[in-house]
A and B are shown apart, each in its own frame.
Chain A
Amino acid sequence: MSSHYEAPIREPLVLGDKSYHDITVDIAKPIEGKANKNWYIAFTISLIAFLWGLGCITFTIGTGIGTWGLNKNIGWAWDITNFVWWVGIGHAGTLISAVLLLFRQRWRMAINRSSEAMTIFAVFQAGLFPIIHMGRPWDAYWVLPIPNQFGSLWVNFNSPLLWDVFAISTYLSVSLVFWWTGLLPDFAMLRDRAIKPFQKKIYALLSFGWSGRAKDWQRFEEVSLVLAGLATPLVLSVHTIVSMDFATSINPGWHSTIFPPYFVAGAIFSGFAMVQTLLGIMRKVTNLENYITRLHVEYMNMVIMLTGGIVAVAYASEFFIAWYTGSPYENFTYMSVGAATGPYGWAFWSLILFNILIPQLLWIRKFRRSFIASFIISIAINIGMWFERFDIIAIVLSKGHLPSTWTRFEPTFVDVGIFIGTIGFFGVLFLLYARTFPVIAQAEVKSIMKVSGENYKKLRDGNHE
């Protein structure tokens, strides 16, 4: 047992007296059992929201982008806000599985599967917005570098918008194979347990015939490690490039060299907040309280505090520089006295409240380790991060270089409807996932049981005394 040693001072990651078989049973239970009433209620609400959004998308495409609240000065508003918000949420999953794998953090194993699922579903939603905003989504393939007859001949590799196409499609596809490769042994577990022939067939198909040979595991671990090494810079590159959509322009407030690191920190901040929100509900609904514990919540809150701190410092430096330049243009950026006292002051102060002030509660250990407090704070951060993007986009565009062009952005019901629709679509996907996929990487959890399982730790620590 000496190879399984872990300092007794470390809290266990898996609670209760669990054997390997117990883990199998616990993870398979939500899939093999029947959905309860709450699941159906949540699914129905999500589905209605999704259908409403679909209606708004159809209306937009049928009538035109004029159905949105955009005008000639504010050509980007809710759509890009939502795009950046969803991409940001999509940052936690691969960060958890890739960066935490490189740092050998065992606590990632309870949450990596669901946060990767969240990543993939969030990036789906993000991808919808630029495609809808094209107005002619059937021409979306024009962003691909293919020989063509329709004008520009080739795509423009100098443009950050095209970098985005490459970054997000690489991110989505690499996250998907990373997720799926990790799922193979768990699908195999479900396949070998399935009693109903149809279920067995489906999981046999999904598991790609995984058999668990020693050589397969050796390759599996090497592939996971290399994918983590590749995905880590990839995660950082995606939001860097999203920030360049703004930073390479010449608008005061957007043309800022700190955007890439600041956006990446903000993305991780919002991504972890969304993981906190989703897992806070999921651990209860699927009875996985022994796997997603207080300790996991506390660790995630620590990441939130770190990245939230980086974001707060970025706001402070933007605000300071806006004032310090003495440039009148800078007084109308999203982080300036002008913004705080201007017509969008409510959006400015919402950002400060939700993104900076409320997360400071996490300095208190009691809140950091409380499920309810973490859940509420995570919702506040989700709202705050939405306002951050809205402020950066709408406030900056509403005050252009010429005061005669100053204008306001008012969302229409279509803007709001599409946003609600993507939340519904996300909910539909996540709820279906929670009923059909192994929501915890059970093979990996089994491999750390002897190190971090409560029963094994007790057994071992008892021997020392």
Chain B
Amino acid sequence: MSNKVIHALYNDDDILMDAVKKVKAADHHIDEVFTPFPVHGLDKAMGLAPTKIAITAFLYGITGLSFAIWMTNYMMIEDWPQDIGGKPNFSWFSNMPAFVPILFELTIFFAAHLMVITFYMRSRIWPFKSAENPDVRTTDDHFLMEISIHDNEKELKSLLKETGAVEINVIENK
């Protein structure tokens, strides 16, 4: 395993997109791209798999709905049934219309929060986590492409130069 990486910096999203396509066409593996804002189509150009996070939101939503059904049934029907405003409380289903707001809110609550927590965990972002972008300019106006070197430093350098990189650095990893 090589421990040298090359960092190519770009200063425009369109040039970066073309560069990513060229580097992929030359059969190099792009380790990572750091950008200051979402560049549309970059994930596809890099060959990243689509994210499945929306599916998790759906599953969390179902969890929330089930929890709300269990909770209203346990509290209002089984544990301590009360006749409130003549609303029928002998079965969960007949009392259900009054529970719709609770069912709805808990569905949203579970789906939204658990999805965001999943996103934070999967992308490894949380309080006290230190940033991992190799160059501070990548949150401002620069775009950084990271490629591992496998005895092809010269070839890569010239290829990246051709694609319009404004700066090329070779980084020795510890």
Which residues does A use to contact B, with CB under 8 Å?
A: 1, 3, 19-21, 24, 145, 153-160, 162-163, 166-167, 170, 173-174, 177-178, 181, 184-185, 188-189, 191-193, 204-205, 207-223, 225-227, 230-231, 233-234, 237, 241, 244, 443-444, 446-447, 450
Q: Which residues of B contact A227 (CB under 8 A)?
A: 112, 115-116
Given contacts A188-B131, A208-B127, A230 and B76 within 8 Å (CB-CB): no
Does B153 belong to the interface (CB within 8 Å)? no
| Chain-A contact segment, one of B1-9, B29-37, B157-165, B166-174 | B29-37
When C-beta atoms are compared, the residue in chain A nearest to B83 turns out to be A158
A-B CB contact pairs (8 Å), 21 listed: A21-B140, A24-B140, A156-B76, A157-B75, A158-B85, A167-B105, A189-B140, A192-B139, A207-B131, A208-B129, A209-B124, A210-B125, A211-B131, A213-B123, A214-B35, A217-B39, A218-B43, A220-B123, A222-B53, A227-B112, A447-B38
Bound Cα distance A173, B79 (Å): 29
Given contacts A19-B141, A226-B115, A231-B108, 15 further A-B contacts (CB under 8 A): A158-B76, A188-B139, A189-B139, A204-B131, A209-B124, A209-B131, A212-B34, A217-B35, A219-B51, A219-B122, A220-B38, A223-B53, A226-B54, A443-B38, A450-B13
Q: Which residues of B contact A166 (CB under 8 A)?
A: 101-102, 105-106, 109
Bound Cα distance A21, B109 (Å): 38
When C-beta atoms are compared, the residue in chain A nearest to B104 turns out to be A237
> Which residues 15-46 of B have a CB within 8 angstroms of A?
32-43, 46
Q: Which residues of B contact A167 (CB under 8 A)?
A: 101, 105
Looking at chain A's contact residues, the main secondary structure is helix
Contact of B105 among A156, A170, A188 (CB under 8 A): A170
- Which of under 10, 10 to 19, 20 to 34, or 35 or more describes the interface residues of B? 35 or more
Does B120 belong to the interface (CB within 8 Å)? yes
Q: How many A-B residue pairs have CB under 8 A?
A: 203
Given contacts A192-B139, A223-B119, A177 and B32 within 8 Å (CB-CB): no
Q: How far is the CB of A5 from chain B (nearest CB, A)?
A: 13
Q: How far is the CB of A29 from chain B (nearest CB, A)?
A: 14
Are the CB atoms of B133 and A211 closer together than 8 Å?
A: yes
Bound Cα distance A446, B140 (Å): 10
Q: Which residues of B contact A212 (CB under 8 A)?
A: 34-36, 133, 138-139
Are the CB atoms of B122 and A213 closer together than 8 Å?
A: no
Does B132 belong to the interface (CB within 8 Å)? yes
Q: Which residues of A contact B112 (CB under 8 A)?
A: 174, 177-178, 227, 230-231
Q: Which residues of B contact A205 (CB under 8 A)?
A: 127-128
Bound Cα distance A163, B72 (Å): 12
Q: How far is the CB of B61 from chain A (nearest CB, A)?
A: 8
When C-beta atoms are compared, the residue in chain B nearest to A215 turns out to be B48
Does B95 belong to the interface (CB within 8 Å)? yes
Does B94 belong to the interface (CB within 8 Å)? no
Bound Cα distance A3, B124 (Å): 32
Contact of B37 among A19, A193, A241, A444 (CB under 8 A): A444
Does B57 belong to the interface (CB within 8 Å)? yes
Are the CB atoms of A209 and B139 closer together than 8 Å?
A: no
Are the CB atoms of B14 and A1 closer together than 8 Å?
A: yes
Are the CB atoms of B119 and A214 closer together than 8 Å?
A: no
Q: Which residues of A contact B101 (CB under 8 A)?
A: 160, 163, 166-167, 237, 241, 244
Q: Which residues of B contact A231 (CB under 8 A)?
A: 108, 112
Q: Which residues of A contact B75 (CB under 8 A)?
A: 145, 154-155, 157
> Which residues 45-103 of B have a CB within 8 angstroms of A?
46, 48, 50-51, 53-54, 57, 61, 71-72, 75-76, 79-80, 82, 84-85, 87, 95, 98-99, 101-102
Are the CB atoms of A158 and B126 closer together than 8 Å?
A: no
Q: Which residues of A contact B37 (CB under 8 A)?
A: 185, 217, 443-444, 446-447
Given contacts A214-B35, A214-B42, A222 and B54 within 8 Å (CB-CB): yes
Are the CB atoms of A154 and B76 closer together than 8 Å?
A: yes
Are the CB atoms of A158 and B34 closer together than 8 Å?
A: no
Bound Cα distance A237, B128 (Å): 35
**What are the 9 tightest A-B residue pairs by CB atom distance, in nearest-first order?**
A209-B129, A20-B141, A192-B136, A163-B101, A154-B75, A208-B125, A443-B37, A211-B133, A217-B38
Are the CB atoms of B106 and A153 closer together than 8 Å?
A: no
Q: Which residues of A contact B129 (CB under 8 A)?
A: 208-209
Q: Which residues of B contact A188 (CB under 8 A)?
A: 131, 133, 139
Contact of A177 among B14, B54, B116 (CB under 8 A): B116
Does B130 belong to the interface (CB within 8 Å)? yes
Bound Cα distance A153, B87 (Å): 18
Q: Which residues of B contact A447 (CB under 8 A)?
A: 37-40
Contact of B48 among A19, A173, A214 (CB under 8 A): A214
Are the CB atoms of B36 and A219 closer together than 8 Å?
A: no
Given contacts A145-B75, A211-B131, A217-B35, A156 and B82 within 8 Å (CB-CB): yes
Bound Cα distance A329, B48 (Å): 66
Bound Cα distance A204, B139 (Å): 13
Are the CB atoms of B57 and A230 closer together than 8 Å?
A: yes
Are the CB atoms of A226 and B53 closer together than 8 Å?
A: yes
Q: How far is the CB of A444 from chain B (nearest CB, A)?
A: 7
